Every structure is written in structure tokens, then in C-alpha cells.
Structure 1
Amino acid sequence: MTSGVKNRTRQAIVDAAIDLLAGNPACSLGDIAAAAQVGRTTLHRYFGERADLLAAVAAEGGERLVRAAALADLERGTGGEALLRLCREYFDLGSLLSLMFAGAGGECWESQDEQCLVAVVERGHADGSIDPALPADWVLGLLWSQLYAAWEYLGQRRDASRHHVLDLLTRTLSNALRPPPA
């Protein structure tokens, strides 16, 4: 039972760090401890230094990206359909993506298999669901930039629902990737 409590406490600290660092990469460890509802001493028991916490945040981020890709079932359907499913799964990562876009955690975000995503785009080129004139790295850059734009829009527009912004995001990507009419 003790290890269950320890795991939940550690996860609460990592989750609080993701949420707070996404809005303010310079937030204090005291702020993170308060958001996790633990004392600063408890936070330091789990993470001796800020760098240790950032490494745990980056590792958690990599795991969440991999889980999202698995949920998107990238092997099913056309490449375009798979990419849109992935976009929907990534959209739900919210604060994590904001943190990633801010550059925190750097090298640890590379745990997402870029080659797998390139293969999805190439499949879309082959099956006609993604314009073959768009290089894979361009398509993936478009995916990331539109996810960023969607989260920024959602954060700035208090009247916008997550559902509406996700619809705008997938519509934009779908139209941008579609091959031109013959």
C-alpha cells in the first residue's frame, strides 16, 4: 500500500509540474509542490533537484506521446485518416504539448518515434489521402504548428469549446493535406 501512495504522490508532483511549467517554465518548485498538494520537503524527497523533476516530466511526456500514438491506431485506414486520429489524441495532451512547444524537456521529447510518423505520411502519399507534393517533414511540422495554434486559440478565446477548436484543427489539417483536384 505504501508504494501505491508513493506512486500517486510522485505522479501528482509530475502532473502539477506539467500543468504549471506549461504556463510558466520558470515557476518555482514551491509552486509545483503547492499545486501537487504536498510540502516542498516531500517534493525534494522525490526529486532532489529541479533537473530531476524536469527529467521525470520529459520522460512522462514521452510516454504520453507514445500512448497517444498507440490509441490513434496508426496502422488502420489511410495515412490521412491515421494522421487526423493522431491529431485528436495529441490535442488531448494539452498542457504537455504547451510545455513541449516551450522547449522544456528538450531531448526527451524525442522518445516519440518520428520514423513511425513519417511512415504514416508516406502511406498517405501512396494511398492518395495526403498530397504527395508535401514532404513528410513539412506535414509533421504542419501537424505540430496547428496543434500549437489550436491550444493558443483555446487559451485566448474563453468562449471557444474544446470540441469546437478540435473541429477547427482537424478541418484545417484535412483541407491542408488533401491533394489538389485532378
Structure 2
Amino acid sequence: MTDTVSGSRARTRQAILDAAIGVFARNPAAPLGDVAVAAGVGRTTLHRYYADRAELLTALRVEAGERLEAARLRARINDGTGADAVRRLGQEYFDLGDILSLLFNEQVSFEAETTTGGGGCDPEFTAMVLRGHADGTIDPSLPADWVQSVLWAQLYAGWGYLAEQRVSRHEALRLILHSLGGALRSTST
């Protein structure tokens, strides 16, 4: 019986987090009642899991971090050429959907790639870019922190274009990956 209860609690908690991601991505100022409705639970149930908005946002930060890390692992950034790894990472991050909106609206902070304190790239991201410098797929004049900024700028542009131009997700992703490839390529031949 305890496993059933804990499984049910975990599903309810996840339903609330998933609903909050979608609701806050569309309206950062949405009331918690909207989250409860989207999750299919009452406000009392929501408050049993998250006492207030601050507690829910803290849980969303943890959830976003976990999803970003899972996307990073799926991207296999230690495999293949540096540029291919950056493109895979861009695709995996793009597929996070509303998590990106929360990041771009600064509702959750992004710490996965800035773990060195005060900004900069983590060692794995830097190694990926340096590998790209060495294998000739990333222009050696582009530092890792610039490549990281370009990646996030392209993701931001892609999500904005998706919303404003009403193109398909596939088309927005194609444009992001194409732009990333062009931005990283060496201009000297």
C-alpha cells in the first residue's frame, strides 16, 4: 500500500510540475489556481505539495536543471566532432520546449553550464569546443563562452520565430541548426 501511495504522490507532484511549466511558460504571472486546474488537482492539493509560489518555483528550478542535464547526456557532447556535438546539444535543448521559455523569461535560473562561478563554461562544454577547434569544425577564434552564447541566442531566436511566424517546430529547429553550423564554421579557407 505504501508503494501505491508514494507512486500516486510522485505522479501528482510530477503532474503539478508539468502543469506549472506549461502555465508559467505562457504567463509568468499566472495564479497558482491556473496551475492547479492545468494539473487536474484542487488548490488544496497543490498547496499540500507546494505551500506557496516560491516553493513551487524552487521545485521548477530543480526540475529544469534535471531536464537540462538529461538533455545534455542525450546529446553525447563527448562524441564526434565538436560542431556535431554542439548541434546535438542544440537539438536536445530545443526539444525541452517550455523549459526554455522559463529560462528565457528568467523564471528559473540556468546553472548547468555556468558551474564555474561568475559565468563561463563548464569543463565538458569547453572540451567540446576545443575538440571542435582541433578537428577543424569550430573556428579556433571562437572561445567556448562565445559558442555557448551563440547556442543560447539561436535557441532564443528559434523559439521566438516559432511563436511569431507560426512555423513548425521542425522548421524552427532546422533554422537553428543551420544558423549554428554557419556561426561556428571557420571563415578562412
TM category, shorter: over 0.9
Aligned to 1:101: 104
Whether 1:123 and 2:131 are equivalent positions in the alignment is yes
1:4-63 Cα shifts (integer Å, max 9, x gaps): 111111001001111111122111100111111110000000001111100110000000
Partner of 1:170: 177
CA distance, structure 2, for counterparts of residue 76 and residue 138 of structure 1:
21
Alignment of 1:73-88 (within 5 A): 73-88=76-91
Gaps of 5+ in 2: 116-120
**Structure 1: segments with no counterpart, 5+ residues:** none
Cα displacement (A) at 1:157: 2.1
- Relative contact order, CA 8 A, sep 6+: which one is greater? 1
Q: Paired residue for 2:31?
A: 28
For 1:1-182, list aligned pairs within 5 A.
1-106=4-109, 109-112=110-113, 114-115=121-122, 116-158=124-166, 160-182=167-189
TM-score (norm 2): 0.91
| Cα distance, 1:104 vs structure 2 | 1.1
Cα distance in 2, alignment partners of residues 23 and 119 from structure 1: 35
1:111, distance to aligned residue in structure 2 (A): 3.4
CA gap of 1:111–1:169, structure 2 versus 1, over 3 A, is: closer
Q: Hey, what's the Cα distance between the residues in 2 that align with 1:181 and 1:28?
A: 53
| Cα distance between partner residues in 1 of 2:174 and 2:16 | 32
TM-score w.r.t. the length of structure 1 is 0.94
Q: 1:135 deviation in Å?
A: 1.5
Q: 1:181 offset after TM fit, Å? A: 3.5
Cα distance in 2 for residues equivalent to 1:124 and 1:78: 6
- Aligned with 1:168: secondary structure? helix
